[in-house]
Amino acid sequence: MTAGSAGGRPRFGASAGARAPVGGALRSMVFLLIVIGGLIAWTARPAPGVAVIEVDGVPAPGRYALTQPTVHAAVVAGGGDPSGLPDAALSDGTRLTLSEGAVTLSLMDRPLMDRSPHAPDVFELPLDLNRVSARALAALPGVDVTLARAIVAEREEGGAYSRLDGLVRVPGLDVDAVERLRPFLAVELSEE
């Protein structure tokens, strides 16, 4: 028999340099932690087709998961009355604030999944189409970052918009899309 074995079986912990069999247990613990972490991250995300909207200036302010995220649905979820407010679709991560009958849209300060390294913009509606930034446009319902940049690029290349209907010159915007954006935009012509 060799040292460290008895009856053909290895002896653990008896001889110098021998190690306890922790490799399998350690791998199992790491695997279990990864699975639990994944489950926590998965359950913290809203379900597909659900947008999280933050609502302020209503009787029950807070964040609401809405399957049909609109201005009216968000106000109603917060216990408010949407009468007299424009209704339009909202994007996930939008903050809607009501103040004296006016709607203000911005990006949530701390969305569930942070999509931007920059602080959010806050602005009042309607936005001046001839001065608005692409970042502010991207917070509007139905406008993504690419379309927002195209609107600003068209303004810079083709000159100021004289009417909201001028948005149809932007690729990707048609008359129906312009009508959906109308409650959120205005054209103020400079007096030069």
Domain of residue 137, CATH code: 1.10.150.320
pLDDT (tens digit per residue) in 51-86: 888 899 998 888 888 888 999 999 998 899 999 888
Q: Once rounded to an integer, what is the mean pLDDT over residues 162-177? A: 93
36, part of any domain: no
Residue carrying structure tokens 């991207």: 138
Report the distance separating Cα 80 and Cα 96, nearest Å. 12
Q: Look up the domain containing 81 and give its range.
A: 47-109
20, part of any domain: no
16, part of any domain: no
Report the distance separating Cα 40 and Cα 48, nearest Å. 16
- Residue 151 — pLDDT band, cuts 50, 70, 90? very high
| This model's pTM is above 0.75 | no
30, part of any domain: no
**84 and 132 share a domain?**
no
pLDDT (tens digit per residue) in 32-43: 667 666 555 544
189, part of any domain: yes
**104 and 130 share a domain?**
no
Percent of the chain at pLDDT above 70? 69
Extract the tokens encoding 149: 């940049």
62, part of any domain: yes
**139 and 189 share a domain?**
yes
> Which of 109, 137, 161 represents a domain boundary (last residue)?
109
Comparing 7-11, 22-26, 129-133, 157-161, the range with the smallest average pLDDT is 7-11
